[in-house]
Chains A and B, each alone.
Chain A
């Protein structure tokens, strides 16, 4: 079992729709969860972090965390073509100070 799992996609949504990206993790001791966006050929850019169960909203982005189900998700409302990128889920266990990344989900937003 991979430590952090994501569907590789591509996830295709039309402009203006809601994109839903999902991630599961295996380490129950994980404390911090992050979503990074990575454009082709570029480095990852932090877009959301979440530490407590529930929802956290920031503009068009909402991160959701369910520690009991070991599940993290990212919703992107009013998707734009500029949102087309690979979205990386990353999980950190504070016992060992490293980020464990999933393989990423490629999102394609069509005009």
Chain B
């Protein structure tokens, strides 16, 4: 079975541009969460979606948005990119909304975004 797949793996963008990151959860998982990990820090929660509805939002500006599609895949969009948005963006999936069912979140390999 495929794990959590993310695309692209690496991306270089210029300040002010827009970026779309994509994630496909593990088959049967209905919850997708997005995290940002800056070098040297732990991942920071951005969004959680379950059954196509936003269940939680972290402390990120409105430039960050996301959505979940009927097949449970998800997109993270970031507008007006800043240098500080350079980070590893991680997608995690779980069976249910809490992550307890199925024993926690499984992370994808991430998208490394560099803003220049």
Contacts and interface: CB of A to CB of B under 8 A. Distances in A.
Interface of A: 4, 31-32, 34, 36, 42-46, 49, 51, 88, 90, 92, 94, 96-104
Contacts of A103: 40-42
Interface residues of B, number: 29
Interface of B: 31, 33, 35, 40-45, 48, 50, 55-56, 58, 88, 90, 92, 97-100, 103-110
B107 A43 contact: yes
A44 B33 CA distance: 14
B24 to A, nearest CB: 15
Given A97-B98, A98-B58, A99-B105, A88 B90 contact: no
A2 B58 CA distance: 15
A52 B104 CA distance: 15
Given A44-B43, A104-B41, 13 more contacts: A32-B98, A34-B104, A43-B88, A46-B103, A92-B100, A97-B33, A97-B48, A97-B98, A98-B56, A99-B35, A99-B99, A100-B45, A101-B43
